[in-house]
Chain A
Amino acid sequence: MYNFSYQKVSSIADAVEAMQKAEDGKFVAGGQTMLPTMKHRLASPSDIIDLGGIDELSGINVDGDTVTIGAMTNHAAVAASSDVQSAIPALAKLAGNIGDPAVRNRGTIGGSIANNDPAADYPAAVIALGATVNTNKRQIAGDEFFTGMFETALEEDEVITSVSFSKADAAAYMKFENPASRYAIVGVFVVKSGDGVKVGVTGATPCAHRGMRLEEALNGNFSADAVDGVEIPVEKMNADIHASAEYRAHLVKVMTKRAVEACS
């Protein structure tokens, strides 16, 4: 890991100022992606600006049908939160199956979605639950946040402050996980609510997306059988040492069926 200059800030304003002054700065949250990436020299920022001292970025708040999770809230806290467990149990369960206990004690929701790893779990939930990503500058709709592989709508000096999720009538997340890292080879988040069915798919393609064909089929008939007839475009799937494109296309349907069954 190349050296850098580290500073811990205690307010969002200080974080933004530090970023603007830095030659090539990066925010760090839990560091569970940032530090491994820097150790491999895939990133070598001049400045690391630690958001860990900004108290207002942590915590979970429920207001009516909306659950707002502070950007610096770690995965273990989301998994253990009785508020999240009762409002959106599928979200608490998703957080509890990210990586391993030590990763969950450090990794944060803000870091996970800002990083937008194609195999990360939270993006599927953000998309399917129609969440809103709140930043120091604006509110970004979940559907518009993830723009490509490791790319998001965020600007350089934009800090995610929290993510707001709405309760659903039913929701479930199923992932086929990489046994070494627990990242999703394919993960599918299915939500049923007043506006119909929404399906968030991660792991399958370079960037998490809505499964429009699956949604169409499930809006007509919310059952695992409805998934059988859906064609998943193999040419759009990721292929790597963990799974071929054909296998991922197959897994999208299997995970969707399991999620639908868990919803009913």
Chain B
Amino acid sequence: MQTVSMNVNGKSVSGEVEDRTLLVEFLRENLRLTGTHVGCDTSQCGACVVHVDGVSVKSCTMLAAQADGSDVTTIEGLASNGDLHPMQQAFKDNHGLQCGFCTPGMVMSALDIVNRNGNNVDEATVRKELEGNICRCTGYHNIVKAVQAGAKNMGA
């Protein structure tokens, strides 16, 4: 067993986990933060993307023990005082989701894209950088629009 401690969405948390526990399992099962999803077992779909120390990672492909001591942000950490984060609002406004399964990972990847490319990120860059996030509903078009709109609104 391992004792892991980390800061998740601004709160210090710790827990006892099996050595093999994945970060996503720790988030979902120990902390009950079920916004982070698991959509595959091949590290390809991106439904599980969270930020660890400020950058996007696939939480299904990192051990909880490897995140010991880190700052983690999940989809639950974005809204403040009941107001959606501008990127979440942009997904809503632009019909950037249908079933919503991929959405938490899409939003977390989108924020990583804005962090690296700024508020005026172009369409081609968004499409390229969403390569690790798979959506089986939308056809991506409105997701790309949402990411660009969210990026703009974050700068406003």
Interface residues of A (CB under 8 A from B): 1-6, 8, 28, 31-32, 35-36, 39-40, 48, 50, 52, 76, 99-103, 105-106, 180-182
Contacts and interface: CB of A to CB of B under 8 A. Distances in A.
Interface of B is mostly: mixed
Contacts of B14: none
Given A31-B63, A35-B63, A99-B132, A105 B19 contact: no
Interface string B52-73: 0001111001110110100000
A3 B58 contact: no
A48 B109 CA distance: 28
A103 B63 contact: no
Given A101-B113, A102-B56, A106-B57, A6 B44 contact: no
A61 to B, nearest CB: 22
Interface of B: 2, 18-20, 22, 41-44, 46, 49, 55-58, 61-63, 65-66, 68, 109, 112-113, 116, 129, 131-133
A31 B62 CA distance: 7
A101 B109 contact: yes
25 contacts: A2-B20, A3-B18, A3-B19, A4-B19, A6-B2, A8-B65, A31-B66, A32-B61, A35-B62, A35-B63, A36-B41, A36-B42, A39-B41, A40-B41, A99-B132, A100-B132, A101-B56, A101-B109, A101-B116, A102-B57, A102-B112, A103-B132, A105-B55, A106-B62, A180-B44
